[in-house]
Structure 1
Amino acid sequence: MALDARPRAIALMGPTASGKSACALDLAWRLGGEIVSVDSALVYRGLDIGAAKPTRDERAQVPHHLIDVCDPWQPYSAAEFAQAARAAIDGIVARGKLPILAGGTGLYFRALLEGLSDMPEADAVLRAAIADEAGVRGWAALHAELVQVDPEAGARIHATDAQRIQRALEVFRLTGRPISDWQRNARGTRLPLSVLKLVLAPAARSSLHDRIAQRFDAMLEAGFLDEVRALRALPGLAAHPQPLDLPAMRAVGYRQAWEYLDGNATAAQFRERAIAATRQLAKRQYTWLRGELDARRFDPATQAAALQAAVQGFLGR
């Protein structure tokens, strides 16, 4: 059997707060790697503390890519991410370094590793019309319409996920064909690398819940609310008619902090809601990860040696 001569890459997947960033930094430091963030919150400038973005010191130790690429009021699609990430990976490979793909955004991983279906490009006029319609009817009503025309997408997309509702309706109205059908018949171009998929997750879900709460309290201590106050003062967000509909502000913790600063929750309610939202994110990530059948799973707290052995075996070292 011929040896796989493709360049190697490591994909570190897992739920939020599972230790992916620390593991990626350690592997990159020891193996001569560079990190490509696969996280839909880290692309936004200004989302630092609440998004658990690598610190400046960490980014100085090891090159990081796909961090701080757009402002929080700007749209950024999975297709844009995949294109930019593949360009970054090409550069890493050309430098003789190991690409380490780390994050918890399933759509970004799928777009990067498998490619996206050749769906119609965004139509600015139709997109604006759908947004205007939502301003009158509400996103819940548009989600109900989506359920009627595309039950599969309607079940998958949350009723408050304005960006994905808008895109699904846009595709249907442009083509008369449900977006789920386009996605199901995807023929994207796979990433031309040999990729070791590693899922990092505590064996006990309660352990992850404890980590989530502890990390959020540490974020508060580090000045998370001041970070959100600074975001609210940015002209691009302050002028937006519905800032909480923006993907950046739907990142867990940020919406809850914004509502707290608006006076719509007590400090205790804010903390409880933010932690609950983060746990819900982790639950959705676990659901996605169950579908990654070719991934190897490790508890980073108890199986560090086995994880390292898997990496060394993959790299042939």
Structure 2
Amino acid sequence: MTLDHRPLAVFLMGPTASGKTALACSLADRYPMGLISVDSALVYRGLDIGSAKPDAATLARYPHELVDIRDPAQPYSAADFRSDALAAMDRVRKAGRVPLLVGGTGLYFRALQQGLSDLPEADPAVRERIGAEAARVGWATMHERMAERDPVAGARIRPGDAQRVQRALEVMELTGRTLTELQQGGSREPFPWRVLKLALLPDDRKLLHERIAARFDTMIAGGFLDEVKRLRARGDLHAELPAIRAVGYRQAWEYLDGQGDATNFRDRGIYATRQLAKRQITWLRGELDARTFDPDRGDPLPGADVALQQFLGMPRASRAALPAGI
């Protein structure tokens, strides 16, 4: 049998409000691990309350790579993440630790492990024309048009996700092939890490929804709207930027634009977060090689502890350096 000499890494995945950060910090107390965030909102500076970003005390004790690395005016892509994550993983390894990648952005996990297909660069003229047409007929109609040719992408991309609908249509026009066809190509290079996947997968949606609502209320009480007001006051941000389209921020931005009242804002924010969790759970159920734990049926730490001891081939070693060769 051929031995796998690739360095080790751990993926800790789960839907929003499932307890990923708490578990990651507990594991970092037990094992020589370096934390790397896999979250499309946490990369942005100033998106703190509404993104449930770990607070300053937590980040001081448990530093996370790839947090606060971009200004919200700057888009951040899956390709950017893959490049940054691979570099961060290498830094963690050279420091004698195991990379622990924690988050809920499935697209980033997939891009990291499976690579990215060779998609064409954006064409401003095509993009502008698609945007102008959408302004006339609406993004729902544009989504229907895209889904007719690419039903897989149509099921995956929401009709209201203008950026991704536009990109799918742009790719089809530029290449004559669907986004799904191109993405299925992926990278031919093997992933240079051996990975243990741990997933927090709540079975009781009702309990998850209750946590989502409670956390959203805590965000509002903690000054979420004031945070969004500060972002708006900059003057260089707008509702179509990826940062502002993050769940919760988009609803807050629209509310401050005069759309609906405070109750409507809360309801829409909670609903959008629940829909995000639903998509994340659907993605996680496709990760058949992940070891899953239901956080509502007991503390997931003991099970994760056993899995890590087996994977690392060592007992837990509170913040110690790894033996040579790990």
Q: Could you say which TM-score interval applies, normalised by the shorter chain?
A: over 0.9
Which residue of structure 2 aligns with residue 73 of structure 1? 73
Q: What one-letter code is carried by the residue in structure 2 that aligns with 1:144?
A: E
8 Å CA contact retained: 2:114, 2:186: no
Q: What one-letter code is carried by the residue in structure 1 that aligns with 2:208?
A: L
The secondary structure found in structure 1 opposite 2:236 is helix
Q: Which structure has more helix as a fraction of its residues?
A: 1
RMSD: 1.8
Q: What one-letter code is carried by the residue in structure 2 that aligns with 1:265?
A: G
Q: Which runs of 5+ in 1 are unaligned?
A: 238-242
Q: What one-letter code is carried by the residue in structure 2 that aligns with 1:275?
A: I
Which residue of structure 2 aligns with residue 198 of structure 1? 198
Which residue of structure 2 aligns with residue 226 of structure 1? 226
Which residue of structure 2 aligns with residue 83 of structure 1? 83
Which residue of structure 1 aligns with residue 306 of structure 2? 309
Which residue of structure 1 aligns with residue 182 of structure 2? 182
What does the per-residue CA deviation read over 1:262-303, in whole Å, with 9 as the maximum and x for residues that have no partner?
232222222121111111111111111111000010123513
CA distance in 1, matches of 2:132, 2:160: 16
What does the per-residue CA deviation read over 1:157-204, in whole Å, with 9 as the maximum and x for residues that have no partner?
111111111211121111111111111232343431111101113332
What does the per-residue CA deviation read over 1:131-181, in whole Å, with 9 as the maximum and x for residues that have no partner?
344344432332232123323322321111111112111211111111111
Per-residue deviation, 1:258:
1.7
Deviates more, 1:194-203 or 1:255-264: 255-264
What does the per-residue CA deviation read over 1:13-68, in whole Å, with 9 as the maximum and x for residues that have no partner?
11100001111122223312211111111112211111011222222112311112
Deviates more, 1:184-193 or 1:114-123: 184-193
The secondary structure found in structure 2 opposite 1:195 is strand
- 1:298 is the counterpart of 2:293: yes
Which residue of structure 1 aligns with residue 243 of structure 2? 248
Q: What one-letter code is carried by the residue in structure 2 that aligns with 1:31?
A: Y
Deviates more, 1:46-55 or 1:302-311: 302-311
Mark the CA change 1:102 to 1:124 in structure 2 (over 3 Å): closer, same or farther.
same
The secondary structure found in structure 2 opposite 1:102 is strand
Map 1:54-203 → 2, pairs under 5 A: 54-203=54-203
Which residue of structure 2 aligns with residue 240 of structure 1? none
CA distance in 2, matches of 1:152, 1:193: 29
The secondary structure found in structure 2 opposite 1:108 is helix
Q: Which runs of 5+ in 2 are unaligned?
A: 315-326
Q: Which one of the candidate residues 253, 274, 280 is aligned to 2:275?
A: 280
CA distance in 2, matches of 1:188, 1:223: 46
Per-residue deviation, 1:219:
1.0
Mark the CA change 1:68 to 1:134 in structure 2 (over 3 Å): closer, same or farther.
farther
CA distance in 1, matches of 2:209, 2:68: 28
Mark the CA change 1:157 to 1:127 in structure 2 (over 3 Å): closer, same or farther.
same
Which residue of structure 2 aligns with residue 14 of structure 1? 14
Q: Could you state the TM-score of these two structures normalised by the residue count of structure 1? A: 0.92
Mark the CA change 1:181 to 1:220 in structure 2 (over 3 Å): closer, same or farther.
same
Q: Which one scores higher on RCO, CA 8 angstroms, separation ≥ 6? A: 2
Q: What one-letter code is carried by the residue in structure 2 that aligns with 1:315?
A: L
Per-residue deviation, 1:3:
3.7
Q: What one-letter code is carried by the residue in structure 2 that aligns with 1:244?
A: A
The secondary structure found in structure 2 opposite 1:235 is coil
The secondary structure found in structure 1 opposite 2:159 is coil
Q: Which one of the candidate residues 251, 262, 266 is aligned to 2:257?
A: 262
Per-residue deviation, 1:2:
4.2
Q: What one-letter code is carried by the residue in structure 1 that aligns with 2:108?
A: Y
Deviates more, 1:70-79 or 1:136-145: 136-145
CA distance in 1, matches of 2:127, 2:271: 32
Deviates more, 1:64-73 or 1:206-215: 64-73
8 Å CA contact retained: 1:93, 1:99: yes
